[in-house]
């Protein structure tokens, strides 16, 4: 499971594991953007929150994850990226995983200073045109992360699952740090 603030590189590192190990990525941000792109009712609803830098309500998010989990074969390992993001989501995930006979093997927290995050997100906004990568919304997203997602790290720290990794540097270098942390 990857945790870390917006722009910390969760998606990039998750995609690396998909390529190198054949794991499946479960990114709630990507799932929401897919719905937005297809113009589904869920997408229209989610976009209202995303564009403000707020979290989509837990119930909607958890339902979407439950449906995605159903489609992933039991033997396939999953990289969670961007979920869970609230304590309620973490509690729901514990129940879902029990239901599906799965366990959390580890939680990697990517550590990146706020100034670096701001720079990365503004750059991504210019390059990819993501509607939530604007200077006003970025600040809000970083604040929401501190308030709502920081406590989720404690949820997993209690189970000794958390490994902190320095998320500043080249993508491959960080991938090596991750691999080392996963073995530690």
Q: Which residues of this chain interact with ligand ADP, rule CB under 6 A?
A: 6-7, 28-29, 32, 49-50, 53-56, 61, 82-83, 85, 89, 132, 141
* Bridging pattern class, strands 107-111 and 162-166: parallel
- Based on CB atoms, which residue is closest to ligand ADP, 62 or 178? 62
Tell me the C-alpha distance between 172 and 25, whole Å.
Answer: 18
Q: Coil, helix or strand for 110?
A: strand
- Catalytic, 52? Answer no
Among residues 68, 102, 124, 164, which one is catalytic? 124
- Based on CB atoms, which residue is closest to ligand ADP, 6 or 178? 6
- Catalytic, 130? Answer yes
- Catalytic, 85? Answer yes
For the bound state, the minimum distance from the C-beta of residue 117 to ligand ADP, rounded and expressed in Å, comes to 9
Among residues 33, 47, 141, 177, which one is catalytic? 141
For the bound state, the minimum distance from the C-beta of residue 173 to ligand ADP, rounded and expressed in Å, comes to 21
**Number of CB atoms found within 10 A of residue 18's CB:** 14
For the bound state, the minimum distance from the C-beta of residue 177 to ligand ADP, rounded and expressed in Å, comes to 19
Task: Give me the residue whose beta carbon is nearest to ligand ADP.
Answer: 29
- Based on CB atoms, which residue is closest to ligand ADP, 138 or 175? 138
- Based on CB atoms, which residue is closest to ligand ADP, 141 or 177? 141
Residue/partner pairs of 47-54 with CB below 8 Å, 24 or more apart: 47/131, 50/131, 50/132, 51/131, 51/132, 51/137, 52/137, 52/140, 53/132, 53/137, 53/138, 53/139, 53/140, 53/141, 53/144, 54/140, 54/144
For the bound state, the minimum distance from the C-beta of residue 184 to ligand ADP, rounded and expressed in Å, comes to 25
- Catalytic, 10? Answer yes
- Catalytic, 95? Answer no
Give whole-number Cα distances, 161 to 51, 62, 114, 184, in Å. 32, 22, 24, 11
Tell me the C-alpha distance between 119 and 157, whole Å.
Answer: 29
Active-site residues, by number, are 10, 85, 124, 130, 141
């Amino acid at each position: 499971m990857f945790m870390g603030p917006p722009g910390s590189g969760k998606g990039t590192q998750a995609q690396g594991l998909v390529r190198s190990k054949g794991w499946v990525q479960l990114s709630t941000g990507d799932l929401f953007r897919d719905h937005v792109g297809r113009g589904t009712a869920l997408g229209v609803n989610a976009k209202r929150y995303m564009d403000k830098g707020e979290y989509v309500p837990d119930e909607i998010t958890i339902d979407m994850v439950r449906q995605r989990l159903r489609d992933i074969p039991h033997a396939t390992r999953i990289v969670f990226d961007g979920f869970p993001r609230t304590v309620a989501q973490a509690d729901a995930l514990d129940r879902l995983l029990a239901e599906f006979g799965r366990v959390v093997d580890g939680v990697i927290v990517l550590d990146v200073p706020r100034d670096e995050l701001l720079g990365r997100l503004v750059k991504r906004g210019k390059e990819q045109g993501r509607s939530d990568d604007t200077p006003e919304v970025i600040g809000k997203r970083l604040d929401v992360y501190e308030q709502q997602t920081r406590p989720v790290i404690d949820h997993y720290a209690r189970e000794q699952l958390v490994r902190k990794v320095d998320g500043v540097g080249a993508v491959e270098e960080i991938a090596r740090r991750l691999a080392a942390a996963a073995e530690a």
